[in-house]
Structures are given as C-alpha cells and as structure tokens.
Amino acid sequence: MGIFDLMEEQGHEQLSFCYYKTANLKGIIAIHNTALGNAVGGCRLWHYKTEEEAIEDALELSRIMTYQSAISETDFGGGKIVLWHEGEERPDEAYFRALGRFIEGYKGKIITYPDLGTESLDMKYINRETKSVILHRLSPTESEESSELTALGVFWCMKACAKFLFGVSSLEGLTVAVQGVGSVGSRVVKHVMSENVKLIITDLNYDCLKRVQDQYQGVEIVSPDEILNLECDILSPCALGPIIGDHNIDKLKCKIIVGAAYNIFEKRRRHSQILYDKGILCAPDFVVNSAEMFLTEYALELLTKEEIEQALKKIYGIMGKVLALSKKEDISPYEAALKLAEERIRRVGQMKGILC
C-alpha cells in the first residue's frame, strides 16, 4: 500500500519526514487525530530493518495514542516520533537539537517525551530548540516512578478482568505468569504478590530473574518459550512485543491477558478477535497503559502527584466499561475499547464546531 493509502486506512491527519544529513537524522513525525487536543507521543529511537517498517510503526503507535487519550478521558491527540537509527554509535547533541528544530515547526501541535531508545538527556537537547517537549517533574528516580505507575495500571486492569471473569476483584489464589521482570514487570510482581498469587516468571536477563526469586519464595522460573504455553489464570506480557501471532496463538492456555507491553499481537484486530472467540479475555494495551496519559498530564502540570494515584484507580472503572460493552455487544474487548474511544472523539469533535 502507498503512504496515503495507509494514512486513509487508519485515519491519520499528517505524516512528515525529517532529514538532517550532517547528523544522519532520519525521523518520522506522525499525527493521527487532534479532535481532543494537540498530539502527544513518545520519541522512539530504533534500529528498524526497513524504511517501511519505521513508517508502519509511526502510524500504528500514533493511532494507539489517540485511543489511549480518548479512553482515559484526557484531552490529547495521538502522535508519535520515530527515529530510524542505523549507526552503532548513539546519536549526539546535534542530532537531537536538529530534531527539536523540526518539532518546533509544528508550533505546539505535537509534544514529545522519552520512549524506547531515548532518555531525559536527549529531551534536554531537544528542549534547547523547542518547548514542545516534556521534561518530567518527577524526582531524579523518574524512570523508577514511571515504571511504578505503569505497573499500577496493569494491576488495576488485572483486578477489573478478574472481577469480570471470576466475580471477585481479588487475585488471591490465582496463577499469574509474568513475561519480563525488568523495571515494570518486577513492580507488577510486587503488586500481584501482595494478593498471594502463585507466580511464574521468565526473562532473558538472569539477574532480573534472580532478584525476583530472592525476594519472593516459591516463584517458579520457566524459559521464555515455555511461558506462553503454560496453563495459568493471568498471562502478563511485560517485555517488548509482539509476542503473539499465528505461529503460537493456538497454544495459549491462559484465561486472561493483561500486560504492560505494547503491540502484544502481530495483528491487533485479527488476533484480538481470535482470542475472544477462544474465550480468552485480553485487556487492550492502550487501556492497560493509560497511566502514560496521566503522567503526561502531571508533567504538563495539569495534575498533582496525589491526583495521579487517584487517576490510576480510574483504570479499573474504564476496563470495567470496556468489558461490559464487550459482553453486551458480543465483540472483543479491543473492539469495545475502540468503540468507546471513537465515540468520545466524535462527540467532542462535533462540539468544537461551535464558534466562539
């Protein structure tokens, strides 16, 4: 498909290509929908195999940001900045300042922040050329605090799914399998273990596994390939996706899937439907990760730190609404979440036609 065909298919407003030869900057800025407000989205630096892969990632992730904002009842549009990095050395100050110049050209229509492959120092370089970047108001341990809030969002979604499927929101006695026990996954472990679950974990990093095993007795460790085939109540993917595709979807034996990973599926819509037909409840990733929007509100001084924790509890109710609609209309939770998000975008978008 051509670029305009892809944009039409997913409903994008704008796609820009940024090139600065001196620093070897190859960037893509995608804006999906700004009906709710100016776009926000992380800045991702990745070794994409092809130009097409980078474009597809920018389009897909910006679209998900639109729905994430809409479902969490925040007033942002969806955007994403994707940097196609081919070299071995990490990009320097000039690279990110050049990106800042391109972002400044949008005059506030998109605001960015660190994502996979970028960090706070990179944002400080960007900030020297534009104010359209978030320098988090969190403490010096901001990444740890961000991981904790993300893990809390996963935990509240788990409880909402357990309530829907088992009739009680407590996770006590359930078997929870966590794939990836790094910064976020280890904190998911902390929360689920507070409710006395049977825990199974996996990770490619031995040190991460050892830390969890040393902290909690009775933890079972399995190989990364094995965890998707285990019988468990909740599978929690907290590593880099996609992890579920045509090659393994029929092997899943879990009852619920709730994790911090984006892009759990190779094909979101199709694989979500397959799981729904199989009777496996899968929480949409853009609902689970709503904490990202509340962190953005905090960084922009729209929420206090105390209000973030209260906002996170809303995820339980949001997930409940998604599951109720899924049951009522006999559609997958993913389709239900899209429907709720698109309805809010439509209603608010109509209201903006009023002249003032």
Query: Which one, of 164, 214, 165, lies nearest residue 189 by Cα?
Result: 214
Which long-range contacts link 17-20 to residues 24+ away (Cβ below 8 Å)?
Answer: 18/98, 18/99, 18/102, 20/95, 20/98, 20/99
Selected catalytic residue, list 21, 49, 80, 313 = 80
Give the Cα separation of 260 and 155 in Å (integer). 10
Superfamily covering domain 142-343: NAD(P)-binding Rossmann-like Domain (3.40.50.720)
Give the Cα separation of 299 and 302 in Å (integer). 8
Task: Determine whether 80 is an active site residue.
Answer: yes
pLDDT of residue 142: 56
3-65+76-127 maps to which CATH number?
3.40.50.10860
Q: In the chain, where are the structural domains located?
A: 3-65+76-127, 142-343
Residue 145: strand, helix, or coil = helix
pLDDT per residue as tens digits for the range 237-256:
998 878 899 999 999 999 99
Pairing mode of beta strands 77-84, 25-33: antiparallel
Alpha carbon distances (Å) from 233 to 46, 152, 171, 174, 327: 34, 19, 9, 6, 20
Is the overall model pTM greater than 0.85, yes or no? yes
pLDDT per residue as tens digits for the range 79-130:
999 999 988 889 999 999 999 999 999 999 999 998 889 988 999 999 999 9
Give the Cα separation of 143 and 308 in Å (integer). 16
pLDDT of residue 301: 77
Q: Kindly tell me the burial class for residue 239, based on how many C-beta atoms sit within 10 Å of its own C-beta (0-12, 13-18, 19 or more).
A: buried
Q: What is the pLDDT along the chain (356 residues), one digit of tens a residue?
A: 789 999 999 999 999 999 999 999 999 999 999 999 999 999 999 999 999 999 999 999 999 999 999 999 999 999 999 999 988 889 999 999 999 999 999 999 999 998 889 988 999 999 999 999 987 654 445 566 788 889 999 999 999 999 999 999 999 999 999 999 999 999 999 999 999 999 999 999 999 999 999 999 889 999 988 999 999 999 999 988 788 999 999 999 999 999 998 888 988 899 999 999 999 999 999 999 988 888 888 888 788 877 887 888 899 999 999 999 999 999 999 999 999 999 999 998 888 777 76
Which long-range contacts link 9-14 to residues 24+ away (Cβ below 8 Å)?
Answer: 10/59, 10/60, 10/63, 11/63, 12/59, 12/62, 12/63
pLDDT per residue as tens digits for the range 289-309:
988 888 888 888 788 877 887
Length of the chain (residues) = 356
Give the angle subtended at the CA of 49 by the CAs of 45 and 52, to the nearest 5°.
90
Is the N-terminal amide bond of 242 cis, ω within 30° of 0?
Answer: yes
Helix, strand, coil percentages, rounded to 5, for the chain = 50, 20, 35
Give the Cα separation of 182 and 63 in Å (integer). 27
pLDDT of residue 64: 93
pLDDT of residue 297: 87
Give the Cα separation of 231 and 220 in Å (integer). 13
pLDDT of residue 173: 95
Beta strands in the chain (DSSP E): 14-20, 25-33, 39-46, 77-84, 110-114, 175-179, 198-202, 220-221, 231-237, 253-257, 281-282
Residues 6+ apart with CB under 8 A from 355: none
